[in-house]
Amino acid sequence: MHAVRSFSTTKPACGVGMKRPASHSGTRTSGRSGRSGRSGRSGKSGKPGRSGYSQQHQDSTRAFFLAYVIASLRATSKKLLGKEAPLQRTSTAQVREIEGCATFQNMKRCESSPYIDGASLELYALCEPVKLVVRLVYAILLRTVLNGYGLLSTFLSSYEERAGREFADAIRKQNVDEHVFEQVVAKFKLGVATPEARVSQWQAARKDWKEKGKYTFAEVGSRHISRTINTGKAKRVMATVVKASTEKEVETALQNCGIYSKFLRYSIYRDLQLWLVHLPDSFHVGPGALETLQSCTKTSATASPEEKLKELHEWLKPQLPTGLVKCVVDGPLRTRNIVCVSSESTRVAFVMRAGPEGIVGGRAGGR
C-alpha cells in the first residue's frame, strides 16, 4: 500500500507569483484589461471556434492538460517503482511547474489510473478469493457507504466478530444480520470522498422506505444493502451484469438495485470491469471532468460529452510517453483514465491560475 501514499511538502501553494495562464473565454468579464468574457476575444482571431472557445484558449488548455497527464503518470510511476520509474525525457517546463505545485503533491487522487488508490487496492485484494456476488456487494458497500482506505477490511472483521460468521458467507446464504450490519457501520467515521454523490444516493433511497422517522445515512445505507442481499436482489443483479454487453445494461441493473447516484453507478461499473473483462469502456463524464472536456476539445459546442471524450482520447494517446503509460495504466489508455485525470486536473488548475477566471473553469471541480 505504500505506493498510494500522497507526497508531503512544505512548499507554499501554487499561484503566488506565477504567470497567469490564459483566461477562460467562457467565464464572465471581470472588468480588468486583458481578460475576456463570452465574446471569445482572447483568441488569435478574436472569434470563438466550433466549441465556443477561442483557438488560443483551446491550445493553452490542451497544453496544460497534456502536461498534467504526464505529471500524473510520472508521479504514479514513482510511487509504484521508485528509482526504477521510466522518467527519462518525459519532463517539460510546464510538467515541472505542475509537479512543484503543493496542491498537486498533496492530492490523494492525482492518479492517471482510477484504480491506484488505497481504498480501491484494498477492495481488489479482499475480492480476490470470493465469488462475484460478494465482490458486487463489497464494491457497493465501499463506494456508497464507507469510501475510505482501511474501512472495508475493518468492517468485515468487526461484522465477523459481532455476528459470529463471515460477512461473505452471510452474502452467499442471503442471511445478513441487519442489526449487526447497522451497529458496525454506525461506529465508523465515514470517508470524505464523493460526499455529494453519497448524500444524494441515500436521500433518494430513503424515499423508497415505508418506515417513518429520521435516519442517518449510515442507517439507511446499512439497511438498504442488507435488504438487497437478503431478498436475493444482489444475486439477480450480478446475473444480469455477467450477461450484459453494454454499460447501459449494467447501469440499469444497478439502478434497479437501488444505486440512484449516476456517479456511484459509474464507480461500481469501473470496479466490475476488472472482474468482467467483456464489459465495454465507460463514457461517463462527471462535472469535474466535463469542465476540462469543454475547454480542451475541438468538437462543436453541441457535441455530447461522449463525443468530446472520444476526441480528446484520440488526440492524447500518441503524445504520451509509452513507457509511463505501460507502467501505470492497465493495458491501453482508456477513456476512464482520461475521465479520472480530467477531473483532478480541474482542481489543480483552479489553484494554479490564482483567480476566478482560469484555464479550465470557475470552480475546483469535483464529482
Share of the chain above pLDDT 70, in %: 69
Residues of the chain with pLDDT > 90, as a percent, come to: 25
Amino acid making up residue 317 = K
Q: Which tens digits make up the pLDDT trace of 348-367?
A: 666 665 433 333 333 333 33
* Angle between helical axes of 335-352 and 287-296 (0-180°, round to 10): 80
Segment 113-128, tens digit of pLDDT: 556 677 888 899 999 9
Q: What is the rounded average pLDDT of the residues 253-273?
A: 90
Q: What share of the chain is helix, strand, coil (3-state, %, to 5)?
A: 55, 0, 40
Q: Work out the pLDDT band at 172, boundaries 50, 70, 90.
A: very high
Least confident of 185-194, 307-316, 343-352: 343-352
User: What local confidence, expressed as pLDDT, does residue 210 receive?
Assistant: 60
Highest mean pLDDT: which range of 29-33, 42-46, 208-212, 267-271: 267-271
Encoded amino acid at 268, one letter = I
> Residues 306, 283: contact at Cβ < 8 Å?
yes
On average, the pLDDT of the chain sits at: 75
- Report the alpha-carbon distance of residue 365 to residue 61 in Å, rounded: 15
Which pLDDT score, from 0 to 100, does residue 330 have? 64
Q: Among 346, 49, 362, which residue's Cα sits nearest to residue 40?
A: 49
Q: Where are the domains of the chain?
A: 118-275
- Looking at residue 171, its pLDDT comes to 97
Instruction: Assess contact for 104 and 161: CB atoms under 8 A.
Output: no
Query: What is the Cα–Cα distance from 47 to 332, expressed in whole angstroms?
Result: 37
Q: What is the model's pLDDT at position 354?
A: 45
Signed CA dihedral, 258, 260, 262, 268: sign only: negative
343 versus 47: the higher-pLDDT residue is 343
Better-predicted residue by pLDDT, 185 or 300: 185
- Dist CA 224 CA 133 (whole Å): 16
CA 69/CA 76 separation, integer angstroms: 11
Predicted confidence at residue 80, as pLDDT, reads 76
Which of residues 31 and 146 earns the better pLDDT score?
146
Q: Residues 114, 5, 143, CA angle at the centre, nearest 5°? A: 40
- The predicted structure's pLDDT at residue 133: 96
Find, among 358, 275, 356, 325, the residue nearest to 61 by Cα.
358
The mean-pLDDT minimum among 75-79, 192-196, 202-206 falls in: 192-196
pTM: 0.67
